[in-house]
Each structure stands twice: as structure tokens, then as C-alpha cells.
A and B are shown apart, each in its own frame.
Chain A
């Protein structure tokens, strides 16, 4: 038989079954639906599990960052200096070995060469500025005067801080035999004492609270072109292709409304000028959509047609029969008057930023960039018009939105140090979605953009 030529015989069989239909048993759908419901429930459970997994990963990352920050600030356990050993140097003129557990690093170690008057004993001691400071603080410090005979001859040239340092026997020696290659006293003091100046370069944890008024644009892109409205009960089905107009409303009739973002941030310097920040934000992002396409569901009540694109449940409302007695087929009955619908999203964000910081006296300037996973809490579409009911979309299966999407961040912070540890900050910030906030295959895609100005307070631990 020719493979590419089906005979009349085959054609006759095909034709016989072409229109054949046999309704299945009524119970079949019930069984199928029960199975599908079970599938849906387990899918919802899996999705929730996935959301918790994302949150757990984000939280773990947050904890990891915080722990890294803490360890980067306090890399070693404080090694208390053994004052007895230091005093032994003075009392017995012996070479002593200071704690070997104190690692001499290039940045932190201070090398002191000690040469006692007649003994030529040299001790090389390595320990950190904080240890030196402890040593200094352990000694009774009297503010020296110019007439103090015990002071080194060049004492009058020392500053008050230097004088405090020089007042102890060990530092007197250090002062009198200071090698030009060693660190200066100012350096020692700067590194050992938390002075006003070194706050600005502190590697401590910086914690801040922020509040930002924002402008938000959901930036909708609509791909569907198949909205039919409305169905008239007394005149049969009337199909009006309003898709172009509705798409246009979502894409072009959107204006920013009052939005805000508030949150807590924590950060630290990972090098002299590089700042790593994280925290969390809670935001309510609102935009206003002007529409004049509606479905009249019953009586005077009407539903904006674009709801059907955002909420699947509203697809059906498009198909509802018009029961209003005064409803006619005239287009004006369902296209006017226009109304404003407020589209509000609530999101929880976990920003992670890296910034470059410059300091000038009490002013600090930080340019930073990063990402922020945004976790959807709610999407509410409401109107001040009483006959438009509110649409509330959560994170369940019916939502067109992803549970989480990622924003890119760009910010520039200017802060001013009011007190030793406190400051205020102003930070223009721009957020741009790096992916659509809606799920794949949805008729509506959304890549939100937001711009705001963070107003905040900072505290340095």
C-alpha cells in the first residue's frame, strides 16, 4: 500500500468518526475535579514551601552578612596585656617576651625598641594599639604641667594627648628613643583611642532607620488582545473588542500616587571606603489608573474591564449577563464616566547594597548599588467610587504575581554626623525591577520602577 496515499477506505473511516461525540458520565468530572483540587492544594503547599525556602535563604544570607560584619570588626579576641610583664621590664631590666598570642600585623603592630639607660637591653614587643591604650589607661594619669620635672625635656612641645602618653615610663622611653621608622604617637593614639575623628572612619556597625516617600510606576506591558465585553441578556451576545483601549489604559493611563517605603538598615565598612549594607524594608507602592472601560455586573455596580487581566476570577465577570433595566447596547453605557482606580502593592524587601563612601569632616557621601528581593504581601485595587468594588489579590494560586521578584538598586546617601555616634541622612534611591513581578505566561507583565528619597537616622556602634 502506498504510505502517502490513504484510500477511500481510510477516508471513509475518518469521516465516520470526524464529528463523533459521546458525553462522558457526569461523575467523571467530579472524580477529575477531586484529583485536580488535590493537585492544586499540594501545588499551593509546594509554592508556600518554596516561599519559606526563599525567606530562609535570604535570612541565612542576612545572618551571614551580619556575622561577617561582626567578625570583620573584631577579628581577634581581645588579648589583655600582661602589665606585670611590662613592669618587669622596668623593674628588672630584663628582656621580656610579650604574649605571642598577639599577632603582629603590618597595620596594627607597634614595634617599640626599648633601650634601658645603662644595660643595653633591647626588647622588641609586638602588640596592638588597643593593648597600649589599656596599658596607658591602667596607669594613674595626671595631667602634666610645664613645670613637672619628671617629664622629658621636650615635653613642652607635646600636645595634651602626647603628654598623657608620655607620662608613663614606658612611653617616656618610647618618646626619647623613637625611631623614625616607627609609628608616631599620634598614630598610636589615633588607632588606640576612639576619638571624635576616628568615628568617621570607624569600622563599627552602622544601624539606621529610614522613611522614604516614593513615586512608583508598575510599568505594565500587556500582551493579550482578547477582551470581549459585554453580554446582553435581551439582545444576544454582543462582543466588543475593547482590548486595544484597555491595554492602552494599563500601559499609558498610569500615574504615580503617594507611595512610601520604610525600613531598618545595618552596615559596616569592609575596607576604608567600601560600605556593605543590608536590612529590610516594608513598602506600599501605589499608582493611579484612569479607566473608562467597565463591565456592569448588576444594577449600578461596575467593574473596570482591566481587572480581568489582573485577576483571573474577573474573567468571568466579562461574560455576565446585563440585568440592569436601563442598560442598552449603546457603547456609552459601559465606557463612561471614567474613574480612577488606585493600585497598591505591599512588599517586604531585603536590600543588599555595596557602597563607596567619602568623608569630609562631619559629612559623609556614599554612592551605593545592589539588589533587593521583594516579597509580595498584597495587591489591592480600589476606587473612591462606591459602585466599584475593591479587588484584593494575595499570594495564592489566583495571583498573577510572583511571590518574590528582584529589584536593582542605585542610591546616593549624604549623611551628617550630629553627635559622636549619631547622624542623619538623606538618600535619593532608584529601584528598577530586574525581572517581571508577574508570573510567566501572564497576559500582563510588570517591571516596576520606583524613585524616592530616604530620610533617616544613623547610629554607629
Chain B
């Protein structure tokens, strides 16, 4: 069936099951990846996704088309994931940004990795680092916005991000080393 956003939106506004299913089938695969980035496993990610779509269908009559529908749904998924992990976000103390050695971004590249490999690395991060990293690096939020979203200071957001980058770099390095080892064996 051809996906017609206008019609699907209208149907969802009226609570039509067929329209809801169409919307779900169109966006769920993309949104599951978003959810996976903010959670530590598939089970948790699907829980978040289900919760998020319930909110989407509940709030869709209020959608005013001020932004693309995908961005609106993504924002709901992210907020749901953050809310679900809110308690975990505060388990990890903030590290002073001065303690961290900022790496030059040009020094390391992720182009050779698939999104699945990168996702696995993100999921290994502690929830708070993961949240800040996702919001800043992938979603494109500014630290000020992240600070408001997570109810932390801007400095904390920056330090968490820097820490996340270091951890990811270590993982990438490890990955490169093992790949190099595998190449030598071959």
C-alpha cells in the first residue's frame, strides 16, 4: 500500500487502526535504531519504542506540521528513552572537563564501520555518556539544550561528552588492533 502521509495522519487523528499500523510500519524500523542507541539492549529498546508509539498516537492530533513528522516522532522516542533511563543517568558522577584530554577529531575516523558496529560501541557506554553522546554527536543538539533536557549543567554535558569520546576512541582503537591482528594472522 502506498504510504500517503497526509491520509495516514488524518486516519491517526481519528484513531483508525489501519492508519496507525501504516504509520508504525513506516517509522518503526528507523525509530528502533534511535531507541537502540539510547538503551543497552534490544528488549529495552523495544519497550521504549512501544511506549513512544503510544505517545505518538495519543498526541498526533496536536501535531501542527511545524517540523517533519519523522523529526517529531524521533523527538518523542528520544524523550521516552531519556525518561525511562532517567534514574540511571545520575548514577555516574560527572568528570571535570579539565581532566580529560581532548582528542582531535581528525585523528580518528568511523567511516569504515557499519552502523551496527558503532551501535554496539555506543551501547557499551554508561547511560549518561550514551545519552549526551547521542544527543550531541548524532542528534545535533547543543550542550545548552542537552543541559536543559537532562537537567544538568552545560559544563557537565561537555565533560560527559568528552569522556564518551575518549571511551569510544578506546573501543575504536581496540577494534582496529584486533582487526590488525586478524589481518596479520591471515
Question: Which A positions have Cβ atoms within 8 angstroms of B?
Answer: 1, 3-4, 6-10, 12-14, 16-17, 20-25, 28-29, 31-33, 35-37, 39-40, 43, 224, 226, 228, 231, 237, 312, 315-316, 319, 397-398, 400, 439, 441, 443
Contacts and interface: CB of A to CB of B under 8 A. Distances in A.
Interface residues of B, number: 54
B14 interface: yes
B99 to A, nearest CB: 16
Contact of B28 (A16, A24, A228): A24
A24 B46 contact: yes
A32 B33 contact: no
Contacts of B37: 17
Contact of A8 (B7, B18, B106, B113): B106
A14 B137 contact: yes
Contacts of B39: none
B53 interface: yes
Nearest to A19: B115
B29 A9 contact: no
Contact of A6 (B7, B19, B49, B140): B140
16 contacts: A3-B142, A8-B105, A10-B136, A12-B110, A16-B110, A16-B113, A17-B138, A20-B115, A21-B30, A24-B32, A24-B49, A32-B50, A35-B54, A43-B15, A315-B10, A315-B11
Contacts of A1: 102, 158
Contacts of B110: 9, 12-13, 16
B24 interface: yes
A441 to B, nearest CB: 5
Interface of B: 1-2, 4, 6-7, 10-11, 13-21, 24-25, 28-30, 32-33, 36-37, 46, 49-50, 53-54, 57-58, 61, 102, 105-106, 108-111, 113-115, 118-119, 136-138, 140, 142-144, 158, 165
A3 B143 contact: yes
B53 A32 contact: yes
B2 A237 contact: yes
Contacts of B53: 32
A3 B147 CA distance: 13
Given A3-B142, A24-B32, 8 more contacts: A9-B105, A9-B165, A10-B140, A23-B28, A40-B17, A312-B10, A312-B16, A441-B10
Which of B108, B115, B143 has the most C-beta atoms of chain A within 10 angstroms of its own C-beta? B115
A397 B32 contact: no
Contact of A441 (B61, B102, B138): B61
A13 B169 CA distance: 13
Nearest to B61: A441
B118 A312 contact: no
A23 B29 contact: yes
Contacts of B14: 312, 397-398, 400, 439
Contacts of A16: 110-111, 113-115, 118
B7 to A, nearest CB: 6
Contacts of B17: 33, 36-37, 40
Given A9-B137, A22-B33, A24-B49, A3 B15 contact: no
Counting chain B CB atoms within 10 Å of each CB, the highest count among A4, A7, A226, A315 belongs to A315
A13 B17 CA distance: 36
Contacts of B13: 441
B115 A17 contact: yes
Nearest to B103: A9
A6 B165 CA distance: 14
B32 A22 contact: yes
Contacts of A21: 29-30, 32-33
A28 B43 CA distance: 11
Given A10-B136, A36-B17, A37-B17, A319 B32 contact: no
Contacts of B28: 23-24, 28-29
Contacts of A224: 6, 10
B135 to A, nearest CB: 11
Given A9-B137, A14-B140, A228-B4, A31 B32 contact: no
Given A33-B17, A36-B20, A23 B32 contact: yes
4 tightest CB-CB pairs across the interface, nearest first?
Answer: A9-B105, A21-B29, A7-B105, A20-B115
Given A12-B111, A24-B46, A316-B18, A36 B137 contact: no
A387 B142 CA distance: 61
A298 B61 CA distance: 34
B45 to A, nearest CB: 9
Given A228-B4, A316-B18, A443-B10, A28 B50 contact: yes
Contacts of B6: 224, 226
A226 B32 contact: no
Nearest to B162: A1
A32 B4 CA distance: 22
A7 B137 CA distance: 9
B15 to A, nearest CB: 6
B34 to A, nearest CB: 8
Nearest to A6: B140
Contacts of A28: 28, 46, 49-50
Point out which of B14, B36, B37, B108 has the most chain A C-beta atoms below 10 A from its C-beta.
B14
Contact of B7 (A24, A36, A226, A237): A226
Nearest to B33: A20
A37 B139 CA distance: 33
Contacts of B15: 36, 40, 43, 397
Contacts of A10: 105, 136-138, 140
A29 B137 contact: no
